[in-house]
Amino acid sequence: MKQNIETETAAGRPVAPPPSLSTLPEWAHFEQAARAARIDPSRLCVINAAGINLDTSGQHASEALQEAAADLLAARNFNAAREQLLSGGVVNPTENRAAWHTALRAPATVPEVAAERQRLIEFIHTADSERRWRNIVHIGIGGSDWGVRLAVAAFGYAGTWRRVHFVANIDGHAIQGGLSGFDPHDTLVVMASKSFTTAETLENGRRALEWLQAAGVADPYKQMIAITARPEAAREWGIPDAHIFKIWDWVGGRFSLWSAVSLTTALAVSADVIAGMQAGAAAMDKHFAEAPIAENAPVQMALSGIVNRSVLGYGSLNIAPYDFRLANLVPYIQQLEMESLGKSVDIAGDRVSVPTGPAVWGMPGTDAQHTFFQWLHQGSDGAPVDFIVCAQADHGWPHHHRILMAHCLAQRQALLRGKSYDEALQECLADGMPLERAQWLARHRLHGGGRPSNLIILQRLSPYTLGALLALYEHKVFVQGLVWGINPFDQWGVEYGKVLAKGLTRMLESCDPVDPGYDASTAYWVERLRGPCTG
C-alpha cells in the first residue's frame, strides 16, 4: 500500500482538495450538453465488460455530451484518481486511508492477502472434508451481511447441505429466530465485524455464545469464528487465534464481501463461489482500468447516473433484477450507493452545488411490476431503472425464462418509447369505443416514454458474472464520487447515529436524569420507555 503522508498538510487537511464542481467550466458544459441530449429510441449502444452486456441505449446521449464528459473527467484527474484507487493510494481522505478492496480479488495480490486467503481455504477444506457443522449462524450487519446473504441466496437458492441463518438486527427476535431450530452441538457461529465494536453484532454474538454454553457445548469458543480488522478485540472476546480471520483497515465495511467475510458463502455453497466472484470482479477491475472512456461500462453508468440525478433531477434509482435469485442485490446496491454517495459536502468541506447520490430502491421483477411499476410508468416523478436479467436460466423450464425476459424487455420498452396520444386513441377506437370516450380514455392510456434506463444482461448467473456485476456498481460509485468531489468511502452520518444510540441505550437502562441536551420529544419518550425506576 502506498504511504499516505504526502496527502495531508500538517494541520491534517488534504493537501489539495479538488475544486468544487460548480467552479469547473467543464461542469457547465456537461450540464448544458446533458440538457440538450435526448433518449433516441433508434440508437443502440451496448458495452461488453467482463462478460456483462451493458445496454445504455435508454439513456440521454449525444456526441456533445460524450465529449463534455471526457473533458469533465479530465478536469477531475480521472486517470490519476483511478490509479490511486487501484494501487491502494489514500482515496478516503477523511479517514486517511485507502479503499483497496480490489487487492482482495486481484489474482496476484499482496503476500498478506494471499496468506490469509490460503488460511481460509484450508479452514473450509477441513470443515468440508470432516463434514463439520450442519448449521451456520452468520452474525454481521451492513457490509458484513448483505454480500454474503446475496451470494448464498444467488447460488444456494435450491438448498445447501448446511443450513444458514443470518442475524443482523439488534431486535432480539432476530437472534431468537436465528438460533431456533439449530442443534447447538452442530452449529458454527460466524461473527463478521470489521470494527468488532458494532453493537448489533457483539450483542447477538453474546446471545449465541450463551446459547452454546447453555447447551453444554464442550468448548463454545471453538464453535465461533471472528472475521475482523481488530483481531485483538476478538481474542479478548475469547475466540481462539485459529478461528480469527483478518480484514484490513484499508477495506471499507461495505466492500468486505471480498474478504474472509465470505467464509459463510463458502461453507454454505462452495469455496468455488468465492473464487469465481473474485475472478469476475478482477476482470471488471481490469476493464475499468483499461477501457477507453466511451467503452468503459462503470464510467458510462456513472455519467448517465450523474445526468439523471444532477441535471434532470431524478431523486432515485430503481434496481430491477429480473432474477428471483438476486433479491438481495437491491439492499446490497442500496448500501453501496447510499452509504457511499449519500453526502452533500465535498472533500474541501463545501456544499456540493448539485444533488448527489440518489435514493436506491427496487425489487425483483416480475413482482415489482405488480407493486410499483405503475408509478415508474406514469407517476409524476418517475425514476431511472437498471434492468438486470440473465440470457440463460439454470432451471429446466425455458418457457418460464422466455416469459421473464419478455416482461423485462417490455417494461423497459414502455419506459423508453412510451405510447403517444394518437396510438392510445387508435387503440381505443379499435376496441370499438365511441369517439368521445376514446378521446377521454386515450389521455389515461398514453405513456410519455423517454424515461431513462439501463439494461444489464448477464449470459448466466454465475459467481463470475455476479462478481463482475458488483464491481461494475462499485466503480460506478467511485466515478460519481470523483465527479461530485465527495468522498465515497466514509459514512459520518451513520457514525453519528451510532454515538447517539449509545447514549440513549445508557439513558434507557439507567435512572439518571434525562440528558438536558435532548430535544423535548426524545426526553419525553426516554422517560416513558424506560419504565419505573427502582434503582
Taking CB under 6 A as the rule, does residue 143 contact ligand F6P? Answer: yes
Q: CB of residue 340 vs ligand F6P: minimum separation in angstroms?
A: 9
Rule CB under 6 A: choose which of 198, 304, 310, 356 binds ligand F6P.
198
Question: Of 18-26, 181-189, 193-201, 262-270, which segment contacts ligand F6P by CB under 6 A?
Answer: 193-201
Q: Please give the grid coordinates belonging to residue 20.
A: 468544487
**What is the pairing mode between strands 46-49 and 52-55?**
antiparallel
Q: How far is the CB of 339 from ligand F6P (least distance, A)?
A: 6
- Identify whether the C-beta of residue 307 lies closer than 8 Å to the C-beta of residue 491: no
Stretch in the footprint of ligand F6P (CB under 6 A) among 93-101, 191-199, 218-226, 262-270: 191-199
SS3 content of the chain, % helix, strand, coil (to 5): 55, 10, 35
Nearer to ligand F6P, 165 or 287 (CB): 165
Examine residue 141 and tell whether it contacts ligand F6P (CB under 6 A): yes
Q: State which amino acid sits at residue 190.
A: V
User: Which one, 106 or 338, has the nearer CB to ligand F6P?
Assistant: 338
Which residue has cell 452449529?
A: 187
Site string for ligand F6P, 329-368 (x = CB under 6 A): ----------x-----------------------------
Residues 248-267 that bind ligand F6P (CB under 6 A): 253-254
Nearer to ligand F6P, 208 or 306 (CB): 208
Query: Minimum Å distance from CB 194 to ligand F6P?
Result: 4
Catalytic residue check, 370:
yes
Contact, 506 vs 527, CB < 8 A?
no
- Shortest distance in whole angstroms from residue 197 CB to ligand F6P: 7
Tell me how far, at minimum, the Cβ of 338 lies from ligand F6P, in Å: 10
Contact 239, 225 (CB under 8 A): yes
CB of 333 to ligand F6P, least distance (A): 14
Are 361 and 319 within 8 A, CB to CB? Answer: yes
Residues 6+ apart with CB under 8 A from 280: 50, 51, 462, 463, 464, 465, 466, 467, 468, 469, 471
Q: How many residues make contact with ligand F6P (CB under 6 A)?
A: 14
User: How far apart are CB 4 and ligand F6P at their closest, in Å?
Assistant: 20
C-alpha span between 382 and 39 (Å, rounded)? 15
In the bound state with ligand F6P, the residue whose beta carbon lies nearer, of 141 and 457, is: 141
Alpha carbons 421 and 418: distance in angstroms, whole number: 10
Out of 4, 32, 87, 195, point to the residue binding ligand F6P (CB under 6 A). Answer: 195
Q: What is the dihedral angle through the alpha carbons of 248, 333, 494, 101, rounded to the nearest 10 degrees?
A: 10
Closest CA to 16 of 99, 88, 86, 76: 76
- Rule CB under 6 A: choose which of 142, 220, 298, 358 binds ligand F6P: 142
Catalytic pick among 2, 125, 370, 502: 370
Measured CA to CA, the distance from residue 51 to residue 460 in angstroms comes to: 9
Q: With respect to ligand F6P, which residue has the nearer C-beta, 195 or 353?
A: 195
CB closer to ligand F6P out of 59 and 491: 491
Asked if residue 273 lies in contact with residue 151, where contact means CB atoms within 8 angstroms, the answer is yes
147 sits near ligand F6P (criterion: CB under 6 A): no
Residues paired with 226 in a beta bridge: 191, 244
- Annotated catalytic, 447? no
Interface pick for ligand F6P out of 36, 494, 501, 508 (rule CB under 6 A): 494
The strand pairing partners of 526, in sequence order, are: none
Handedness of CA 123, 127, 133, 138 (dihedral sign): positive
Closest CA to 306 of 452, 117, 462, 472: 452
Q: In what order do the strands lie in the sheet with 46-49?
A: 46-49, 52-55, 453-458, 385-390, 316-322, 359-362
In the complex, the smallest distance separating the C-beta of residue 51 from ligand F6P, rounded to whole angstroms, is 27
Of 162-170, 192-200, 399-407, 520-528: span binding ligand F6P (CB under 6 A): 192-200
The residue from 31, 337, 339, 474 that is catalytic is 339
Q: Encode 198-234 in three state secondary structure.
A: CHHHHHHHHHHHHHHHHCCCCCHHHHEEEEECCHHHH
> Per CB under 6 A, does 205 bind ligand F6P?
no
Give me the least distance between CB of 201 and ligand F6P, in Å please: 5
What single-letter DSSP state applies at residue 419?
Answer: B
Catalytic site includes residue 339? yes
Residue 278 in contact with ligand F6P, rule: CB under 6 A:
no
Contact 140, 264 (CB under 8 A): no
Among 56, 193, 462, 487, binds ligand F6P (CB under 6 A): 193
Q: Which of 56, 102, 135, 144 binds ligand F6P (CB under 6 A)?
A: 144
Site stretch for ligand F6P (CB under 6 A), options 25-33, 189-197, 233-241, 312-320: 189-197
Distances (CA, A) of 74 to 80, 310, 407, 464: 9, 19, 40, 31
First to last CA, the chain: 53
**Residues forming the site for ligand F6P (CB under 6 A):** 141-144, 193-195, 198, 201, 253-254, 339, 491, 494
| Residue numbers annotated as active site | 339, 370, 498
